[in-house]
Amino acid sequence: MVSGVKNYYTNPEVRARILEFLGGDSPANVTAVYLTGGDRAGAHYRSPRLTTELPALLENGLDIGRSLWDREALIADLDVEYVNFDRPDEAYLSPERVFDLQLPVEQSIVAILKDYDILPLHLLSGRGHHFVWQVHRLSRAFKQLAKLGRVTPSLQQLYSQPHRPNGEPVAAEMGAAFAGLGLLMEYLAHRIKEEAAPRCDIPVELTAVEVGPTQRGREMISLDLSEYGDPLSTRTFRIPFSIYLKPWQQRDLLSKNLAEKLPPFFLVPLSGMESRQGIQIMRDPDCVIDLAGRASTRIPDQSDSMPHLIAAYRESVLAGFHDWFYSEEHRTPEEWPETYDRTPLEPMPHCARHILEHPNDLLLRPGGIERIVRVMLSLGWHPRHLAGLIRSKFERNHAWGEQWTGYDPATRADFYTRIFTGLFVTGHDDLVDFNCQSAKEEKGCFLSDCPDNLERFKKSLLQRRQYERLACRPFNRLFLPEEHL
């Protein structure tokens, strides 16, 4: 436990707020399916624990999370965080600056959600914000989301299996509704990026994709949708009034001994406060305890408001793109030796070939997938087959270890390919950073004297969008020698 907060979790108001967020008034009757608990070393922070183990997790002073998976509702979580690839210390050393940088995004989210009459629970974390609400599984909105969701056969099979720690499967309708929610979150992220990015001093991106440097390093604001690219059964998020141990768990990324000099952190609800006030409170255990006595952590039920958002999504350009994306299917693993495995590498720039040849860990990084998506789209690939190609790398032996245990490579490949293609197709990405100089600045260039030039791929891709020639090559021609761009 971090020094100075040994008795923090014994406070009855703190415990009541934690249970309230879990959806009950005792560990035995909460609606969250499971909990997680991590110590300063990060040990076991992803391991599912029974909700009845909550008293032990509190007694041990752990960083406590809850499953996104809930028995009575679909939990919506819009996660925003500051990311600095060169100076991870920045969020902890300059919190006022970091949260001021996020202010246009915060304001846009509040305004956009209000457009749909959605009033979320607003939480402040060590690096950003969470906006959380729920959709009851018996509501009309839940049924609509389930109809929207696309679930791969491999994910359907995974969901049907027993999951730790209770041995429960994920109900098919819940899995489909979660997939549908992911499409809506992507739509919201497009709106937020469009409205907030022009007012932000640093880039605003969907997921933590590498960007070019500023005076403070390669810093950006991530609309982190990554939880919607994985099975519902795997994803968790911190509970308000939990201690926030990420700086200690990631101490190897920070300056030497920095974690030991930091004050304790807590995840708190803003509850009508400004972010700057929340920053001060979240670092003072006494102020956090006082807040626990007056701030609710109940996840608001927005079931009646969600149909407005669903209707707006259905009428959007993005929804049309999603229909086009899912109009093709991955080739089956049995077909890979004659399809994806025969993908010609010669037409690709060296950086893209290098990523495909070294998928662990380059293809796990959002920026790596973004590079592959842009290059392969410029060569005439359909994005769903791009996802199939990436999936084929994920499912081959590249020393992944336990990386894919409990996860679905097909869903992950679909998600990131869809995200980056969707930004381009809908006009929210004009490839400003798709050039060799930016690749070097983003540390995505792997050859000092590379003879390739990304500009020619960029030109081809922009022309394909302009003249509606995306995915113009029939699949059976993808594995023939590539014509010149």
Whether the pLDDT of residue 180 is over 50: the answer is yes
- Give, in degrees to the nearest 5, the angle at Cα 63 between 58 and 67: 95
Average pLDDT, the chain: 94
Give the Cα separation of 367 and 376 in Å (integer): 14
Banded model confidence at residue 107, pLDDT cuts 50, 70, 90:
very high
- Weakest mean pLDDT among 9-13, 109-113, 255-259: 255-259
More confident residue, 450 or 46: 450
**pLDDT tens-digit readout, 78-105:** 999 999 999 999 999 999 999 999 999 9
**pLDDT tens-digit readout, 266-311:** 999 998 899 999 999 999 999 999 999 999 999 999 999 999 999 9
**pLDDT tens-digit readout, 137-166:** 999 999 999 999 999 999 999 999 999 999
Banded model confidence at residue 6, pLDDT cuts 50, 70, 90:
low
**pLDDT tens-digit readout, 385-396:** 999 999 999 999
- Give, in degrees to the nearest 5, the angle at Cα 258 between 255 and 261: 165
State residue 485's pLDDT score: 42
Whether 216 and 84 have beta carbons less than 8 Å apart is answered as: yes
**3-state SS assignment for residue 376:** helix
State residue 261's pLDDT score: 83
State residue 484's pLDDT score: 41
Whether the pLDDT of residue 362 is over 90: the answer is yes
pLDDT (mean) for 375-394: 97
**pLDDT tens-digit readout, 12-25:** 999 999 999 999 99
Count of C-beta atoms within a 10 Å radius of residue 44: 13
- Distances in Å between the Cα of 111 and the Cα atoms of 187, 195, 285, 295, 413 are 15, 10, 31, 22, 32
Give the Cα separation of 266 and 239 in Å (integer): 9
**pLDDT tens-digit readout, 54-74:** 999 999 999 999 999 999 999
Amino acid at site 163: H
